Structure 1
Amino acid sequence: MKVLVTGGAGFIGSHIVDKLIARGDDVVIVDNLSTGDESYIHPEASFYRMNIEDERILEVFERERPQAVIHQAAQSAVPVSVEDPIRDAQINIQGTIRVLEGCRRYGVEKVVYASSAAVYGNPEYLPIDEKHPVRPLSPYGISKYTPEHYLHAYHELYGLRYTIFRYANVYGIRQVAKGEGAVISIFIDRLLKGEDLIIFGDGEQTRDYIYVDDVANANVAALSQADGEVLNLGTGKSTSLNDLVKTLQAVSGKEIQPVYGEERPGDIKYSYFDNRRALERLDWTPAVGLETGLKQTYEYYKECMGR
């Protein structure tokens, strides 16, 4: 199968590309390298450096004629979306429409789309399932949710198959140590530099941390399954920041005394997913536990810093 991966030089996208090529697929990457890294690009993949909102992306579709698209490229920083909501919408909404137009015009059969837990806003109940009300609190949450409607419309109008994933907190190797969802890479980066780990609030706030390898496997599985589904992609387990620090201390062998600061206004206190629908609809289950994933991630960044 020929698969086009937008954001294929990025944190999650590069892992997806690696798995596709390992199973024998022909892969095309579109990435502007704004957050991606050229060193993550698989040597067997075709690469186009461009923005997804650039109309030239239609030329890539015409030339490459992919059978499927895994759409990972996005503006993913909440503060950036608040500061510049127009640019956020240009990338996440208009860029996605540009990708969907390429799919429509050039015969793509299936799209797998990366949405976000940010679409839900403050949880009304836990764990969050796919029936939970959608009330995003930021332009980013809005711009990730809006393309879900376009995917449904393109299916109804043109028969384009799709699967939508709403990601929990994805972590693992190759993640940039910045942004709301990157607390693990930020903690490891500071730990290796001998800097304090800063926790805003009492540390009892919870999240659902899922390892990037599991997310990549789900995306590959969705190419042939779960058509028309909106699925929460997480572990279904709640982990507090305090417990996260304890586990990181165990895998690193370093004594950690976090510094607690004032709780940040607007931060969601408790959040984790009900992932049963993903388990039912996909031939998939999250396989990497938090301790194992943290150890792999810590060793990766330790080696990078050593180099």
Structure 2
Amino acid sequence: MSDRPVVVTGAAGFIGSNLVRRLLEDGRRVVGVDDLSTGSLANLSEARDRHPGRFEFDRLDVTAGGLTPLVERLRPELIYHLAAQVDVRRSVEDPLADATTNVLGTVAVCEAAARGGVRKIIYASSIGSYGEPREDQLPVGESFLDPALSPYGASKRAAMTYLATYQALHGVSWTALTLANVYGPGQTTAGEGGVVATFVGRMLAGQPVTIHGDGEQTRDFVFVDDVVHAFVLAADRGDDERFTIGTGERISINQLFRALAAATEYPHEATPAAARPGEIRHSAVDSSRAARELGWKPWTTLEEGLAATLAWAAATER
């Protein structure tokens, strides 16, 4: 393990803060970067309290020009790039803002890496970067390249093109992890909040729960600790490649609602609403290539992951 630090952009977000925790537990020196537009410093309180000599936080927007001087000063070995605009609906409403964060932000990370002698960028992508697969194509792997259905997806695809370009021009290696629907402790309804966090939060508070569309759309839910492990493995494996990260299993939104309602003793029916534009109907990913080349497999079942998420949320509510 190198004694050079690693940088995590989007460090105060859900996945970013869990990655920071894991890297510190592994003995790395970590510099967290976040503009706190959606992330929270509270997510990093444990890192700051338990690892004061090995954790540094810098509040900055990666698109605002401050990243390159930071990276040139620190000379980190790796940049984990998780800072992003992740709301599909917002990308449809304001595609320019989405592209500014997701495309120009990635260009800024690539430029900082090239100027600062960074060995590798590990990039968080999403299955939402790709189009609508037929059911007979599921689960999809790295060969599935249908055009994105939202500006968010298009911006994440463009970002990966820049990673490959900077590798060709400047020799900065990269690995992109195309993530299924990530959930787990620490996820809230803000920022990177997904359907699990939204359902859990509203059920525990006794508030109405909305299901968009008919609820028969399906998703591949992968536990955050498993995803973090994939990021750690990618530091030394899978150079200049993209890997799909998920369980390969699907559950409908209606099934998820029923499971969480039973677990929380939520007495109400879901409120129906119109389907959201830009969202795909069915999603699941094949991670067999990640198993072969990264040595990664998910180990947390959905039942275990939902139980851990509910326990965390209930404790937080108190």
TM-score by length of 1: 0.94
The aligned counterpart of 2:113 is 103
- State how far apart, in whole Å, the 2-side matches of 1:17 and 1:263 are: 35
Structure 2 alignment gaps of length 5 or more: none
Q: 2:259 aligns with which of 219, 244, 247?
A: 247
**CA 1:180–1:202 in 2, change beyond 3 Å: closer, same or farther?**
farther
Indicate the SS of the match to 2:32. strand
Q: Show the counterpart of 1:20.
A: 23
Instruction: Name which of structure 1's ranges 286-295 and 126-135 shifts more when overlaid on structure 2.
Output: 126-135
Q: 1:110: how far off? A: 0.9
| In the alignment, structure 1 residue 268 sits paired with structure 2 residue 280 | yes
Question: Quick one: which of 175, 187, 208 aligns to 2:199?
Answer: 187
2:89 counterpart (79, 103, 112): 79
**Structure 1 contact 170–211 (Cα < 8 Å) conserved:** yes
Kindly report which structure 2 residues correspond to 1:204-219, keeping only aligned pairs within 5 A, or say none: 204-219=216-231
Alpha-carbon distance, 1:104 to partner:
0.5
Matches within 5 A, 1:86-235: 86-124=96-134, 125-178=137-190, 182-235=194-247
Per-residue Cα deviation, 1:101-140 (whole angstroms, up to 9, x for no partner):
1110111001100111111121142211111123011111
Question: In 2, distance between residues paired with 1:103 and 1:51?
Answer: 16
Residue deviations 1:170-218 (CA, integer Å, cap 9, x gap): 1112223157960000000110111232222332210000111111111
| Aligned-pair CA distance for 1:252 | 2.9
1:63 aligns with 2:73: yes
Q: Residue type of the partner of 1:18?
A: R
RMSD: 1.7
Unaligned runs of 5+ in 1: none
Q: Structure 2: how far apart are the matches of 1:247 and 1:278?
A: 29
Matched with 1:31 is: 34
Task: Give distance in 1, aligned partners of 2:132 and 2:9.
Answer: 29
The 1:21/1:73 distance shift into structure 2, 3 A limit, reads same
Corresponding residue SS for 1:69: strand
Deviates more, 1:120-129 or 1:262-271: 262-271
Aligned-partner Cα distance in 2 for 1:263–1:8: 31
Quick one: distance in 2 between partners of 1:180 and 1:60? 25
Three-state SS of the structure 1 residue aligned to 2:107 is helix
In structure 2, the partner of 1:302 is 314
Counterpart contact for 2:223–2:300, Cα < 8 Å: yes
- Take 1:180 and 1:49, find their aligned partners in 2: how far apart are those partners? 18
Give the distance between the partners of 2:296 and 2:177, measured in 1 at CA.
Answer: 13
Provide the residue aligned with 2:250 in structure 1: 238
**Please, what TM-score do these two structures have when normalized by structure 2?**
0.91
| Whole-angstrom CA distance in 2 between matches of 1:217 and 1:91 | 25
SS at match of 1:121: coil
Match for residue 49 of structure 1? 59
Deviation at 1:79, TM superposition (A): 2.0
Q: Give me the identity figure in percent.
A: 42
Structure 1 runs of 4+ aligned residues shifted over 6 Å read none
Deviations 1:146-191 (A, max 9, x none): 0111111111222211110111111112223157960000000110
Residue aligning to 2:296: 284
Paired residues of 2:185 and 2:312 also in contact (CA < 8 A): yes
